[in-house]
Amino acid sequence: MEDLITDPFRAARLVLRLRQEGVTDDGVLRAMETVDRGAFVDDPALKDLAFADCVVPIPCGQTIPRPAATGQLLQALGLGSERKARLLVIGMGSGYIAALAGQLAADVFGVERYNKLTDHARQRIVSLGLDNLAVRYGDGLLGWAERGPYDRVLITGQVDAIPQALFDQLKPGGLVITPMQHEGRQQIARMARDGTTEWFSLSHELAPIVPGCSQAL
């Protein structure tokens, strides 16, 4: 974990900005000031954007979302401080949000539809010694049944409806967390298997999750 420690001054500014945008969970804040967003950026010229309040481009036309949106998604997991949960992340992109989740959960499994992003994330996991993370290339909306059941499933982009396959991979009492349209704007839904839903604010809209596996490199 020593390789993940960030500049303390920039990290402190990040935490202040996150608090101003409603991210107050101590575990989430601790993870985000510890895990260096820049370690998940491929282009060296963009690494200085790691602590900026902006999206950061990554390969395959994808982005790392703004810090507040990432923090709000993680906060909506409601995992507490015990780090006992088993978590599935759909659309893990660079692996940054999965690495953050690894500071909050016992085991994290990520699925990504771009093979190139999956390979890069796997390399980072190994180099950074993140031994409670596993990743695979595939259609995230089908889940990863072989590694379930899960306490939480986190979908990192908007969906119109949550596939039944993801509910089927939850433990009793498990929850799916995802951005969805609600009351005319994008919010974070935390939904139980029976459809019971809690809604949480999302400062910045996130792109939709696309079904299937990309055929691009």
pLDDT tens track for 135-156:
999 999 999 999 999 999 999 9
pLDDT of residue 3 exceeding 70: no
- Where does the pLDDT of residue 170 fall: very low under 50, low under 70, confident under 90, or very high at 90 and above? very high
What domains can be seen in the chain, in order of their start residue? 2-200 (3.40.50.150)
Other CB atoms closer than 10 Å to residue 67's CB: what's the count? 25
* Nearest one of 104, 75, 85, 72 to 170, comparing CA atoms: 85
- Where does the pLDDT of residue 89 fall: very low under 50, low under 70, confident under 90, or very high at 90 and above? very high
Longest Cα separation, the chain = 47
Q: What is the pLDDT of residues 180-215, one digit of tens each?
A: 999 999 999 999 999 999 999 999 999 999 998 987
Q: Exposure pattern of 113-140 as b/e (b: 16+ CB <10 Å)?
A: bbbbbbebbbebbeebebebbbbebbbb
| pTM for the structure as a whole | 0.93
- 41/50 Cα distance (integer angstroms): 8
What integer pLDDT is reported at residue 6 of this predicted model?
A: 60
What integer pLDDT is reported at residue 30 of this predicted model?
A: 92
pLDDT of residue 217 exceeding 80: no
Under a CB-based contact definition with an 8 Å cutoff, are residues 53 and 20 in contact? no
Torsion angle of C-alpha atoms 150, 151, 156, 162, degrees rounded to 10: 80
In terms of Cβ atoms closer than 10 Å to its own Cβ (0-12, 13-18, 19+), residue 177 is buried
What integer pLDDT is reported at residue 196 of this predicted model?
A: 96
What integer pLDDT is reported at residue 160 of this predicted model?
A: 95
Q: What is the pLDDT of residues 32-57, one digit of tens each?
A: 988 988 889 888 888 888 778 889 99
What integer pLDDT is reported at residue 156 of this predicted model?
A: 97
- Between strands 56-58 and 133-137, the pairing is unpaired
- 138/91 Cα distance (integer angstroms): 10
What integer pLDDT is reported at residue 38 of this predicted model?
A: 87
What integer pLDDT is reported at residue 2 of this predicted model?
A: 45
Q: What is the pLDDT of residues 101-126, one digit of tens each?
A: 999 999 999 999 999 999 999 999 89
Tell me the mean pLDDT in the region 58-67.
Answer: 93
